[in-house]
Structure 1
Amino acid sequence: MNIDLGELNAFITVARANGFREGARLSGGSASALSDAIRRLETRLGVRLFNRTTRNVSLTEAGSSLLERLAPALGEVENALDVVNGYRDRPAGTLRLNIPVSAARLALREIIPAFLARYPDILLEVITEESFVDLMAAGCDAGIRYDERLEQDMIALPIGPRKQRFAAAAAPSYLAQHPTPQHPKDLLNHACIRGRFASGAMFPWEFEKDGETVEVAVNGPFIMRPGGGTDLAVDVAKAGIGIMYLFEGWLQPYFNDGSLVPILQDWWPSFPGPKLYYPGRRLVPSPLRAFIDFVRAWPVSPAAREL
């Protein structure tokens, strides 16, 4: 059987994008070209790889089996071709990172511009994703996450602040009308701006002091989901609607300008900063290797170590 890598790449693109239009947008091609490539591949294989309706495109059982085997194999092909980059004067190629919005804001705002200035031949694509994903299946080279369980073949490297804290805050207008909480349990009598995970579970409000840990099941008039809703939640808090609980680094600019006031500071819990993680049992592509070396050499100020 003659193998057409273009058709196989088209298959992976559509499968990962869950559709031809989105696949075309992500790949910079056209939906009709992807559709034609998939049709040729299905004819060549003699099986249907996608179920198509006017509203949905989904993998068949045969398509799912092919994707499971094909994605790692094509990844190895890309790695083999990347070896050629070792003969260039400077690294080139595409680097895909899967990161949460919080890491993009708190850990990468200075690193990414400096990295791109150092390596102009590298195309960096960032995918924001709050849930833990299979990097290989998502087509990413590396990810950034907080203290989560990683697979055994993953390598983790600290990036950004080495230590962070969750902070509670409210607007001066809110505190002018309500007593300032002195203990985390006082939050039960306050309007709170809550968060919900993609899974549907509510984000816990945890506090700690002198070895004592307190988790409070707060209530309030506004619920946000991670991502773009976070800035809106800050605006809601600044308007005096309620108390919020978020990364200290995210709230610090509002503490500085006085639009939000820190509360319960003695109870703010600290946790390890984010980590860059990537598969350890495969050849590291040159763009990722350049990024790893850049992160390792990036200076971390004493203040950033304790954020």
Structure 2
Amino acid sequence: MRQPNLSDVALFACVVEAGGFRAAAEKRGISASSLSDCVRRLESDLGIRLLNRTTRSVIPTEVGTRLLERLRPALEEISAAFNDLDDHTQRPVGTLRLNAPVPVARFVLPGLIPAFLERYPGVNVEVAMDNTFIDVIAEGYDAGVRYEESLAKDMIAVPIGPRRQRFVAAASPGYLERNGIPTHPRELLTHRLIGHRFESGKLGVWEFENNGTIVRIPPQGPLLSSAHDLEVGAAVSGVGIIYTFEEYLGPMIDQGKLLPVLEDWWQAFDGPFLYYNDRRHMPSPLRAFVDFLKNDAQ
């Protein structure tokens, strides 16, 4: 067995964590073929197969899994050593990879990221919009943004953006003139509703609250979509009643294109949180972003 190249070892770990050569190559900024050659060289140096390759997936062998379990702490310590250098110079460098739901990426992060990038010119930010409840750490992100009910208990959570938000219900003046104005959520059962389906396939059930009374309405109507812009546009055009984040509907209500309904029943909820796992050494871009949220983004 020849002494393996440590760079090849790190690339092998990256392939496993990314779930394939193509995704790992994009993160590392090299070609998938070069990455594959590095892993084959590592396998040749060790004299063992580390990955089972198919046309659809790349899965570590049993030996590869055991090796990665032993290697991961050492690789994290190496990364931490370089992060400590960043700490010494007080100049965090590198890429911060965030995963955030669409409403947060659209309405919250634009008010934060430009100032953060100006404050830390050595940091780049990559943001992926994703409404599904994925394991962001396993998918290669430094942190995610989600709402409290979706946070894993073993994660550290830091408030980000508005601390209170709410869903609002509205419809176009023309729709309400033709169909009447509902005065109780149960009356929505006789209305045309514009529903939202998450990427996971789950239907977004409308939940209203008033003085401790909660009413849940599964939206039934002519339009069901996973695209908020389409839903808002349909509501403005008179297709039906919509119930979604106030940030989406506020401008349309201010312009009179939509009229609010059931205002006493609008549900309020806590704003989003940035979350990350409890690692001994945080990557310097993530540490800088957490500090920014706590101290600069007030």
TM-score by length of 2: 0.89
Alignment-derived partner of residue 233 in structure 1: 231
Whether the aligned pair in 2 keeps the contact of 1:166 and 1:268 (CA below 8 Å) is yes
1:102 aligns to 2:98 (yes or no) = no
- 2 CA distance for matches of 1:71 and 1:137? 13
- 1:305 alignment counterpart: none
Matched, 1:252 2:254: no
Find the aligned partners of 2:156 and 2:250 in 1 and give their Cα distance: 31
Q: Is the 8 A contact 1:166 1:246 kept in 2?
A: yes
Partner of 1:139: 140
State the match for 1:7 in structure 2.
Answer: 8
**Where do residues 212-223 of structure 1 align in structure 2 (5 Å cutoff)?**
212-223=213-224
Question: For residue 52 of structure 2, what is the aligned residue in structure 1?
Answer: 50
Letter matched to residue 78 of structure 2: V
Matches within 5 A, 1:15-164: 15-45=16-46, 46-53=48-55, 56-62=56-62, 63=64, 70-71=71-72, 73-148=74-149, 150-164=151-165
Distance in 1 of aligned mates of 2:197 and 2:70: 35
- Aligned partners of 2:70 and 2:173: how far apart in 1? 57
Distance 2:190 2:68 in 1: 52
What is the rounded CA distance, in whole Å, between the counterparts of 1:234 and 1:64 in structure 2?
47
Are the aligned partners of 1:71 and 1:137 in contact in 2 as well (CA < 8 Å)? no
Shift of 1:121: 0.5
CA distance in 2, matches of 1:175, 1:127: 37
Shifted more, 276-285 versus 2-11: the winner is 2-11
Give me the whole-angstrom Cα distance separating, in 2, the residues matched to 1:113 and 1:206. 34
1:276 to 274, 277, 293: 274
The residue that corresponds to 2:291 in the other structure is 293
Give CA deviations for 1:166-198 in whole Å, capped at 9, x if unaligned.
Answer: 111222232232111111111111111112233
Q: Cα distance, 1:16 vs. partner?
A: 4.4
Is the CA contact (8 Å cut-off) linking 1:184 and 1:216 kept in structure 2? Answer: yes
Instruction: Write the letter of the residue equivalent to 1:93.
Output: G
In structure 1, stretches of 5+ residues that fail to align are 301-307
Distance (Å, rounded) in 1 between the aligned partners of 2:173 and 2:65:
54
For each residue in 1:89-126, what CA deviation from the matched residue of structure 2 results, as whole angstroms up to 9, or x when unmatched? 42222212221111112321111111001111101122
Q: How many residue pairs were aligned?
A: 295
Mapped partners of 2:294, 2:275: distance in 1 = 13
Answer yes or no: is the 8 Å Cα contact 1:99–1:144 preserved in 2.
Answer: yes
Identity %, equivalent residues: 47
CA distance in 2, matches of 1:221, 1:65: 53
Separation in 2, partners of 1:195, 1:115: 32
1:21 Cα deviation (Å)? 3.4
Q: How large is the Cα RMSD of the aligned pairs? A: 2.3
TM-score (norm 1): 0.86
Alignment CA distance shift 1:201-1:177 (3 Å): same
Q: State the distance in 1 between where 2:261 and 2:74 align.
A: 52
SS in 1 for 2:221: strand
Structure 2 unaligned regions, length at least 5? none
Q: What is the one-letter code of the residue matched to 1:292?
A: V
Whole-angstrom distance in 1 between the partners of 2:59 and 2:50: 9
Tell me, what secondary structure is at the counterpart of 2:137? helix
Distance in 1, matches of 2:73 and 2:167, equals 38
Report the CA distance shift for 1:128/1:69 in structure 2 as closer, same or farther (over 3 A). Answer: farther
